Amino acid sequence: AQKVTQAQTEISVVEKEDVTLDCVYETRDTTYYLFWYKQPPSGELVFLIRRNSFDEQNEISGRYSWNFQKSTSSFNFTITASQVVDSAVYFCALTEFRDDKIIFGKGTRLHILP
């Protein structure tokens, strides 16, 4: 069965530091999709990125970057030069091609300290 593990429950860093959020997944399918969502203190869930299993290129979007490594079943998320507004809970998620359900990890609560 598919599974997503976010081992870091809570992380605190000082503003402007870089921080990496880990995501490890398990799947028996060869075709699958990975996601990251952000949940700011206001509570809504904000989509950040989707990646399919055939595309292992790293992605960069401004201060955000994602490192997808099939060899280690990981899809890590890095925030460069963190800002207080990055404080949120971040969720990693997985869906398999043959199964439409989307499974989330337990989330990592990120505190950016001024």
Partner 1 sequence: DAGVIQSPRHEVTEMGQEVTLRCKPISGHDYLFWYRQTMMRGLELLIYFNNNVPIDDSGMPEDRFSAKMPNASFSTLKIQPSEPRDSAVYFCASHLDPAAGELFFGEGSRLTVL
Which stretches of the chain bind partner 1, using CB under 8 A? 33, 35, 43-45, 47, 50, 52, 91, 93, 95, 97, 99-107
Least distance (Å) between residue 1 CB and partner 1: 10
SS3 38: strand
**CB closer to partner 1, 43 vs 62:** 43
For residues 33 and 94, the answer to whether their CB atoms sit within 8 Å is: yes
Residues 6+ apart with CB under 8 A from 27: 2, 3, 73, 94, 96
**CB closer to partner 1, 14 vs 45:** 45
**CB closer to partner 1, 40 vs 81:** 40
**Residue with the two structure tokens 């996601």:** 35
Q: For residue 60, give both structure tokens.
A: 């960069």
Least distance (Å) between residue 33 CB and partner 1: 5
- Quote the DSSP letter at residue 86: G
Least distance (Å) between residue 4 CB and partner 1: 9
**CB closer to partner 1, 57 vs 101:** 101
Least distance (Å) between residue 95 CB and partner 1: 5
For residues 87 and 110, the answer to whether their CB atoms sit within 8 Å is: yes
